[in-house]
């Protein structure tokens, strides 16, 4: 059985806000809970790298979720910049291909070579967004076959590129671990505590069920940020994770 702190360390709270003030408001409410925080495009495009530096100064582990997807040279540069910023984790789209993912790793390595005080961030690839259904995958995106096969194929490619793990739904965790090994990290959004609205998420599980699938981290946004009492909502999620350990 895990402790509350151990379980909290595997929760990533999505700071999906338009201003630093609102993000700080949530952080203040979650004070003392040793969770990861995720800065995504809404907050980063509004407030930029200074807010990430502020989070690092305050001792948070930061997942910078910018989902890079561009030509290899551009992604190498982007990965270099975010590594120099000192983030603990960042992501790219696996759909960018092997060379693009390898370029992300090379960009991070170049940053480390230039500044030995930096640590290698965990670099992960988005396989298929958790808002994507089987039907959307086949009919709109144009990838045939099952969602699980598509996710596993991208995960295998990410591993081949030297990345450290993937973003996927909790429903695919077991297949990813089976094909890529247990130490290959899975970061799973699409988390919905029982009774909470799915919203635009399609491939979902509860926090407890996601942990039982063997995921490394769960990502939670609105079930915490839109709760009447966000601290209580986060505590209940961590308790559920802890029970399922
Ligand atoms: O890379 C991500 O973090 C991500 C990938 C994915 O496939 N699905 C997904 O929901 N996310 C992010 O995870 C968070 C989920 O938020 P909620 O749906 O509000 O819990 C959002 O910040 C999304 O941008």
Predicted pLDDT at 2: 77
What number is the ipTM of this complex? 0.99
Q: What is the C-alpha separation between 204 and 201, in angstroms, rounded?
A: 7
Predicted pLDDT at 118: 97
Which sign does the torsion angle of CA 68, 227, 9, 186 carry?
negative
pLDDT averages per 10-residue partition of the chain, 245 residues: 91 98 98 98 98 97 98 99 98 98 98 97 98 98 98 98 99 98 98 97 98 98 98 98 93
Q: Which helix (H) or strand (E) holds 39?
A: strand 36-39
Nearest-CA residue for atom 11 of ligand 1: 189
Residue 219 Cα to ligand 1 midpoint, Å, equals: 7
Nearest-CA residue for atom 16 of ligand 1: 221
- Cβ pair 82, 109 in contact under 8 A: no
3-state secondary structure of 122: strand
For ligand 1, say whether the CB of 221 is within 6 Å of any of its atoms. Answer: yes
pTM of the model: 0.98
- Cβ pair 225, 191 in contact under 8 A: no
For ligand 1, say whether the CB of 15 is within 6 Å of any of its atoms. Answer: no
Closest CA to 96 of 61, 71, 131: 71
Residue 146 Cα to ligand 1 midpoint, Å, equals: 21
For ligand 1, say whether the CB of 222 is within 6 Å of any of its atoms. Answer: yes
Would you call 2 exposed, middle or buried from its count of C-beta atoms within 10 A (0-12, 13-18, 19+)?
A: middle
Predicted pLDDT at 1: 57
Q: What is the C-alpha separation between 60 and 197, in angstroms, rounded?
A: 28
Annotation marks residue 67 as catalytic? yes
């Amino acid at each position: 059985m895990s402790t509350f702190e151990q379980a909290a360390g595997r929760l990533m709270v999505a700071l999906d806000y338009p201003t630093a003030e609102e993000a700080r408001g949530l952080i203040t409410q979650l004070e003392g809970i040793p969770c990861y925080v995720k800065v995504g495009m809404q907050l980063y495009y509004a407030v930029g790298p200074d807010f990430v530096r502020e989070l690092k100064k305050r001792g948070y582990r930061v997942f910078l979720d910018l989902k890079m997807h561009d030509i290899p040279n551009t992604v190498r540069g982007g990965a270099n910049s975010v590594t120099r910023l000192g983030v603990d984790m960042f992501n790219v789209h696996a759909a960018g291909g092997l060379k693009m993912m390898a370029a992300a790793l090379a960009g991070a390595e170049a940053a480390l070579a230039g500044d030995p005080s930096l640590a290698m961030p965990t670099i992960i690839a988005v396989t298929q967004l958790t808002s994507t259904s089987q039907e959307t995958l086949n009919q709109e995106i144009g990838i045939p076959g099952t969602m699980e096969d598509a996710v596993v194929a991208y995960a295998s490619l990410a591993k081949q590129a030297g990345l450290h793990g993937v973003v996927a739904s909790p429903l695919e965790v077991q297949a990813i671990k089976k094909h890529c090994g247990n130490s290959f990290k899975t970061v799973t959004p699409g988390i919905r505590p029982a009774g909470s609205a799915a919203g635009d998420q399609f491939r979902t599980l509860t926090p407890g069920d996601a942990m039982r699938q063997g995921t490394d981290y769960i990502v939670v946004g609105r079930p915490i940020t839109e709760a009447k009492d966000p601290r209580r909502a986060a505590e209940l999620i961590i308790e559920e994770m802890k029970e399922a350990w």
